[in-house]
Amino acid sequence: MKHPLPSLLSLALLTALAGCSSPQGEAPAATVAGTAETAASDPAARAPLAIDTSLVTTAPIQFRAADLSPDVAACTDLNRHTNASWLAANPIPADQSTWGSFEVLRQRSLEMQHAIARAAAEANAPRGSIEQKVGDFFAVGMDEAAIEAAGLDPIKPELARIDALDSSVAVAAYLREAYANGRGMLFGFWSSPDLKDSNFVIGFAGQGGLSLPERSYYLEDRPDFVTAREAMLTYASTLLTLAGADAESAAAQARDILAFETRLAGAMLDRVSLRDPAARYNPLSLAEADAITPNFSWGAFFDGIGVARPEMFSLGMPDFFREFDAMLAEVPAAQWQSWLRFRTLSSAAPFLPKAFEEANFELYSRMLRGQQEQQERWKRVMGALNGSMGEALGQLYVPVAFPPESKAKMERLVENLSEALRERLMNLEWMGEDTRAKAMEKWASFTPKIGYPDVWRSWEGLEIDRSSFIGNLQAAAAFNYRFNLDKIGKPVDLTEWGMSPQTVNAYYRASANEIVFPAAILQPPFFDPNADDALNYGGIGAVIGHEMLHGYDDQGSKFDAQGNFVNWWTDEDRERFNARTQRLVRQFNAYEALPGLNVNGALALGENIADLGGLTVAYDAMRRAQGEGFADPMVEGLTQSQRFFMNWATVWRRAFTEQSMRVQITTGPHAPGQFRAVGAPSNMPTFHAAFDCQPGDPMRRDGEARVAIW
């Protein structure tokens, strides 16, 4: 699935370690759970499927001294010193737009998932079991002949409904019904903990409806944005032509569609503003919401989606909704029809016959991201399966791929990181005692989750069979959306996860103050039960630190120990904190990714605070683990400290096509890996000491130029 779009949801709900994680669709709401054993049966106890291991051919990346580039000193550029020779020897594959440590591990995880899905498809599993659902979903997705033969049939009923809309009243009714079926097309609507009452789930509405990656693609004349708009016109008219429109009508509709989305974009908040929880949270009664959108009744919306009318919900970004409402009144029904038709075709395109799929690839992969070739079909079907039934697949993945010993070892690492963070918090010289007491309260309430959920989600009620690929996708979309909506008005389910176990990523969720590490990231170069402390602390240790420090980044620090959006800072301490973080913004603003295109330090600030604090705490934790009088055994001629920082750089080993670099910088929030590899270490005296960096070396910041926050 190549929709570039944002998950505004994930932006709102959880903070991931790295961009481009597996497509998870609607992110579930907040959760808290211990890693303690629960009454539920051991989730890993499920009998593993017998998989064809020959399908798993990608080896994880490991730090090796032989890969170092002697011609670039670590004090000049730790990233190039560590990564240049590997990157030169491993160009971006034609079916990818970025390539590095994360991507290699993702490919390895995907190969494992592929083997599992194939085994499930051949297992003749009992009807209703997750093996049957995963297997059937995969098998019918691979049946290209059937997909070609069905043509547009699977979405014809939807297109016919759109063709019949003749007024703004009919459009509003159609939108409500689309949401009820899990196909919300314009604004986002989802469930999540109330920001002011983290134990209770409410509905959230927020801006949405764009086909290009970000509002600026519509509003600014940067050359790649202009090219993207032209490509979108081509894409829209191609899809409409394939669906039967004549060329002239298709081109005219495409222009209307672009104008429609440009109008939406003009009313949207930018990404930097959206980072502020206050910009996304706007609790209102239904009557107050209706006053913002007189042409769109929220009571009718809740009725339509089958959710009891609440006393309040959050209508974020009210200016966007005012514009949406004005468009209901002002945009002719025919233009609404064009846009709805296009969005329906576009969201189905990756799963329709080849001509549709290729048009979608052309815009979202080749043009926007510089990916040269379409991925093999199995990879695309696995992407769809992850988006539709990720956790079901994860339930089959864990017993095959995750050694239980890893969990125990991770728990010890988390404890050591936590102790090191406590010491930092106790000794921060810029923080007053009142704020420190609250920071410690928050520290004491962190909840780690490691590997996989203690309680697996039920898939009962989701019908998956071998009759239609799109039919299965639609059934899953409706099922997952219902699952999400059914939480509204209830207490938060503390056991849920926001990522599947097979995802190579990690996250922090402020509403639960939890840090979460899926099984698939617990592999080299992040984690290796057989590796020494230097590699594990420079890898997963720094990731653990990163996720904990999200609790104290510029936005996470607005949530308290209970996960509520309340200020626990004194004004003086907040000012001192802001002065420090603003210097980090300026540091990253100075990194030039492409000629004339610099990192957006404000957009990436939360991640960069987490990297700097996380790596600092991970280094402390490594030293704690090694204890007094540690002899520092050199390995391959390198000290433990050197290997710690080199493995950190190895984690961020990553190349981008020019196009995907532009998207990454524009949409953030993660700075490209080459800057994450060097940013935090350049501020750390422990790094300067490890490599004997001298004043004036590019990787040594001193005095006012050096930032230390946590």
Kindly list the residues in this chain that would bind Zn ion in the complex (CB under 5 A): 15, 17, 607, 610
CB of 351 to Zn ion, least distance (A): 31
Closest contact distance (angstroms) between CB of 16 and Zn ion is 6
We find the least distance from the C-beta atom of residue 505 to Zn ion, in angstroms, to be: 9
- Cα–Cα nearest to 671, from 656, 685, 688: 656
Distances 86 to 81, 96, 100, 369, 410 between C-alpha atoms, Å:
10, 17, 9, 22, 28
CA angle 259, 263, 268 (to 5 degrees): 140
Residue number, 643 or 670, with CB nearest to Zn ion? 670
By C-beta, is 214 or 611 nearer to Zn ion? 611
Give the burial string for 352-385 (b: 16+ CB within 10 Å, else e): bbeebbebbbbbbbbbbbbbeebbeebebbbbbb
| Nearest-approach distance from CB 103 to Zn ion, in angstroms | 18
Between CA 170 and CA 183 the distance in angstroms is 17
For the bound state, the minimum distance from the C-beta of residue 253 to Zn ion, rounded and expressed in Å, comes to 40
Distances (CA, A) of 237 to 34, 224, 233, 261: 51, 20, 6, 15
Shortest approach of Zn ion to residue 498 CB, angstroms? 13
Tell me the closest approach of the beta carbon of residue 413 to Zn ion, in angstroms: 18
C-beta closer to Zn ion: residue 15 or 31: 15
CB atoms within 10 A of CB 176: 18
In terms of CB distance, is 15 or 237 closer to Zn ion? 15
Which one, 528 or 547, has the nearer CB to Zn ion? 547
Q: How many CA atoms does the CB half-sphere of 354 hold within 13 Å? A: 11
CB 549 within 8 A of CB 418: no
> Rounded to the nearest 5 degrees, what angle is found at the Cα of 89, between the Cα atoms of 88 and 93?
95
Q: Where are the beta strands (DSSP E) in 214-337?
A: 283-284, 313-315
Structure tokens at 491: 């207490």
Structure tokens at 440: 């410690």
Nearer to Zn ion, 15 or 191 (CB): 15
Instruction: Name which of 397 and 577 has its Cβ closer to Zn ion.
Output: 577
Least CB distance from residue 506 to Zn ion, whole Å?
8
Q: Which is nearer to Zn ion, 271 or 643 (CB)?
A: 271
Taking the complex as a whole, how short is the minimal distance between the CB of residue 138 and Zn ion, in angstroms? 31
| Cβ proximity to Zn ion, 258 vs 549, nearer residue | 549
CB of 607 to Zn ion, least distance (A): 5
What is the sign of the dihedral through the CA atoms of 256, 257, 260 and 262? Answer: negative
509 closest CA partner among 540, 548, 451: 548
Compare residues 15 and 211 and give the one whose CB is closer to Zn ion: 15
Residue 557: its H or E element: none
First to last CA, the chain: 39
